[in-house]
Structure 1
Amino acid sequence: MPALLAEDLLNQMIPPLKGTDTAGKAARWLEEFHVGQLPVLAGRRYRGLITERDLAEYEDSDTQLAELPLGYANAHVQHDQHFYRVMEVAVENKIQLVPVLDEQQDYAGVVTVSDALAAFGAVPGQAGQGGILVLSMEERDYSLSQISRYVEENNAKILSAHVVNDEHDPYRIRLTLRLNVDSLSRITATLERFGYLVTAQFSGPAVPTNDEQDRFDALLRYLSV
């Protein structure tokens, strides 16, 4: 099944800065968009992130960003990389947003940590327990009570649910479910039998590798904050 990828989570509301933009403009945009970093481009190429700390070191607001040394040049992901990798880059670099590059290595946009977590909802529970299903459906087909019945018929319960509009189709929604069971194959089969499209699942019937389990545990620790 297809997994949730970086390109699925792009935030179109946060613009990049250009090298010809000034430090003053960068400071205004950081405040306006309520972020601690913003990407800086040279043409369509990603150069790095400008941060509040960087700007605090320069008193001349007319200084162009091209003249400033930028950090986080390697803090980015490819458009087709997994949600796990987005979160890893954010954690490793302690940043609020992660730049995404396309097939040509040009800048495609950013994924914010808050948007990524909103896609999964605020999930209670301890790390490493339960699984996550992401469903896509037409808005008219959404009925949490009916979906809950299908889940409970498989001896499981929904711990939390989060609905967002599908950015690619105004008539569809994406529903993310946190369940209290690790094995998702029977639940997935039931939902698909009744016409629901399961686009991603985390934790499942296969025994995860140590690396996969570490990533899943890290994800759930994020969701439990």
Structure 2
Amino acid sequence: MQAYEFINNLIPPLKPNDKAKMALSWMEEIRTNVLPVVDKGIFKGFVTDDLIYTKNSPELKISKFDLISPACFVYLDKHIYDVIKVASEFDINMVAVVDRGNQYLGVITMEDAIGAFADSLSIQSHGAVLVLSMFMTDYSLFEIARIIESENAKILSSFISSDPLDDSKIKLTLKLDKSELRHIKATLERFGYKIIDHYQEETAISEDQERIDNLMRFLNI
């Protein structure tokens, strides 16, 4: 799940001497509003269609634009989680990838990153999602897994986040391999765990919509 594995080779980098009209042409062709700019192998930042339209000069060279997010990059061996984190920090849907010598290797789009993230968390696997709230001192995935396995179910993946309603607690999101949660919920509650949300699979949902819905539910967005 390292960054270099998800580089999108269909997105070309612009050079400082390229003209704005070429950038817009490429953006239209590959259906994006942002492109990376690279000078002699070094990532310099991104140019957007908004920047170009503001200047309103199609013959203007890219070097004349104030590029955005020059620090929006990750090293090639960083995890896909880091790619999503950097994209979120810079509020952009593309992240550059460089090697340890800072040589530009390519970019990763957020569509590709989210797809990889979803796969890594078993989002597409059949099963339900449970969300528990607890103090960090009470967190033991081994113990929780033992309880869930006593109901003939297994944890496919887990995700910890802060509880926005209580800073002293965490939220533990679990993807299970079972769709029926009634007995699992009852057993967890019997052992003192507080379940604050759950999501069970529904029928008659398209595969694409199911993929998106499951990811958003898993991340509790």
TM-score normalised according to structure 1 size: 0.56
Looking at CA atoms only, which structure, 1 or 2, has the larger radius of gyration? 2
State the 1:224 CA deviation: 6.3
Among 93, 97, 101, the alignment partner of 1:100 is 97
Alignment partners' CA distance in 2, 1:21 and 1:66? 8
Alignment partners' CA distance in 1, 2:62 and 2:73? 19
Counterpart position of 1:12 = 9
SS of residue matched to 1:118: helix
Q: Percent identity?
A: 29
Counterpart position of 1:22 = 19
Alignment partners' CA distance in 2, 1:66 and 1:158? 48
Counterpart position of 1:143 = none
Counterpart position of 1:85 = 82
* Higher RCO (CA-CA < 8 Å; seq separation 6+): 1
State the 1:32 CA deviation: 1.2
Aligned length: 145
Counterpart position of 2:140 = none
SS of residue matched to 1:60: coil
**Cα 1:180–1:86 shift into 2, 3 Å:** same
TM-score normalised according to structure 2 size: 0.57
Amino acid at match of 2:40: G
Alignment partners' CA distance in 2, 1:20 and 1:222? 44
**Cα 1:48–1:59 shift into 2, 3 Å:** same
Q: Is 1:90–1:97's contact at 8 Å kept on the other side of the alignment? A: yes
Counterpart position of 1:37 = 34
- Give unmatched runs, 5+ long, in structure 1: 130-150, 160-177, 182-218
Among 159, 174, 180, the alignment partner of 2:176 is 180
Q: Is 1:97–1:113's contact at 8 Å kept on the other side of the alignment? A: yes
